[in-house]
Amino acid sequence: MIWTPQEKSEWERNVLAIEPTDRGRQLPDGRFMQESRLTLSPEWMDQLFKGYRCAACLERQEEAFPEVCCSAWCNFPIRAEQRDRLAIDFMGQQPGIVAGFPMDRELDYLEREHYEKKGSVTPGKEL
């Protein structure tokens, strides 16, 4: 008897589509690694943009924007590179659920949230 689980895994529920792209990078040994375009659930997209999920390996993080990914084999520098990575991976993508995703507004929101956490709010201050 083979037992087949009825419940989908967390990954299956949140990674809605993986499509090949024409982007990719040449590996040092000469192979060409093609990049995939992921379509994620709104929940995971939200976590990605808030730094609670690694953009490189999609591992859930304990804190927002940790120095590096908590996954031992990944070590992606989330704090330094996550936003750039998301901009590259998801900018211009129209994943149905977040079509026309207002990137600027979201980053603005993130910055404001981060700012408020520091406890030194100066409303209306222009940089």
Name the site residues for Zn ion (rule: CB under 5 A): 54, 56-57, 59, 69, 71, 74, 76
State the minimum distance, in angstroms, from the CB of residue 59 to Zn ion.
5
State the minimum distance, in angstroms, from the CB of residue 92 to Zn ion.
23
State the minimum distance, in angstroms, from the CB of residue 27 to Zn ion.
19
Burial class (CB within 10 angstroms; exposed 0-12, middle 13-18, buried 19+) of 53:
buried
Select 39 or 61, whichever has its Cβ closest to Zn ion.
Answer: 61
Distance from C-alpha of 92 to C-alpha of 43, rounded to nearest angstrom: 19
